[in-house]
Amino acid sequence: MAFSIQYIAVNRLKEIESDWKSLESGRDMTLFQSFDWNNLLFEHYVPQDSPYFESLYTIVKQDNKIQIIAPLWITKKTFNYINKKGLYILGRDSYSDYLNIIYKDFNSDLISFLLEDIRNRYNLNHFYFEQIRENSIIYQYLSNSYKIENEKKEPCVSLRLPQTIDDYHKNLSKHSRQNLRTAKNRLSKDNKLIEFNMDDIQVDKKRCIEIRESKLSVQYKRIPYIKRLKYRFVNKHRFHFPRFSPITDFKLSKFMTAYIDGDLCAFFNYAYDEPHKRIVIMAAGTDLTFARYSPGMLLMYNFIKQCIQEGSYEEIDFTRGDEPYKFALGGELNYNCSFRITLKPSDTQLLHY
């Protein structure tokens, strides 16, 4: 078996589209490893190279067939105190909830070959893996093969869809079922009409962004003052990637919405991960004016029932965050892991040159 490696600029993404799409169905891949999502990153997110960093795709072949595509952000030297020299996965600090290199069939020899070549090419020792799903094969491999440093875990939640709506209701807690009834009763008592649209092609995207930002602002004010000071310092010195939003920029975005008496009161921005029969929630928001009616929870509850009836998808991925509604609707807790490994010359054996 002969291994080879190639480094290409991000503006050559289209050249590897067919190979990328052949890999993105792998077990560990998600919507955020798809070609379409990474094309979004190329169009709206990838920063212009500088003396401090560069963005690129690293391609690893086995017997002249592409087995790995690694979208990378290489920081060639530390700058502004907190932007550390090292390797990072492109997509960090964005709406990419899960990060990973792109592969279909995991091969530890190929991973070792990739890391060692990058270490030699860029004279790097530190490799930063961020937002790697804990249940992925690559996480298990890295944690078993290298010393994991500075590991942090953050929650993410997903729901495996049962076969029938009856099964789904049985899985919900008594408290959750009561909350759904309470929300409906409040709407009825206040003579409010709620309407759901599971594929709202006429949605006011600007209003969605306003609703989301208003809620985030309220959440930020609840953070203890000391933590906010620390955040301001870090935010001042960290590198800021170009901003984008799937709400306005992702061509495969869809919207489910709830309206009360004609006013948009809740929305979920989602997309289909077809190879994995998964629906991915990318952004959400509830107008706090209508919070007492729990319109977001009612909307998602009805969407879940519709998905079960149609039977086309197996999972709803609520992605990062442990908001209570996710668990109330039957979601299960998973974790994203962010950590560093330090690679030394003796860490890998280059057996395939």
- The structural domains of the chain, with segments of one domain joined by +, span 3-154+336-347, 158-334
Number of H helices, E strands in the chain: 11, 13
pLDDT band at 346 (very low <50, low <70, confident <90, very high): low
Please give the C-alpha separations between residue 322 and each of 9, 249, 319, 328, in angstroms, as whole numbers. 37, 25, 9, 11
Amino acid identity at 330: G
Please give the C-alpha separations between residue 105 and each of 32, 97, 109, 110, in angstroms, as whole numbers. 17, 22, 12, 10
What CATH code is assigned to 3-154+336-347? 3.40.630.30
48-75 pLDDT, tens digit per residue, is 999 999 999 999 999 999 999 999 999 9
Nearest partner of 135 among 158, 114, 115, judged by Cα: 158
> In the structure encoding, which two tokens stand for residue 331, read together?
């979601």
Instruction: Tell whether the model's pLDDT for residue 353 goes beyond 80.
Output: no
pLDDT band at 350 (very low <50, low <70, confident <90, very high): very low
pLDDT band at 347 (very low <50, low <70, confident <90, very high): low
pLDDT band at 349 (very low <50, low <70, confident <90, very high): very low
C-beta of residue 261 within 8 angstroms of C-beta of residue 201: no
Task: Classify 130 as helix, strand or coil.
Answer: strand
The reply to whether domains 3-154+336-347 and 158-334 share a CATH topology is yes
Say how far apart CA 201 and CA 47 lie, in whole Å.
Answer: 31
Q: Which residue has the tokens 């959440």?
A: 219
Global pTM value? 0.94
Nearest partner of 276 among 97, 25, 43, 98, judged by Cα: 25
Instruction: Tell whether the model's pLDDT for residue 99 goes beyond 90.
Output: yes
What CATH code is assigned to 158-334? 3.40.630.30
Above pLDDT 90, what percent of the chain?
A: 89
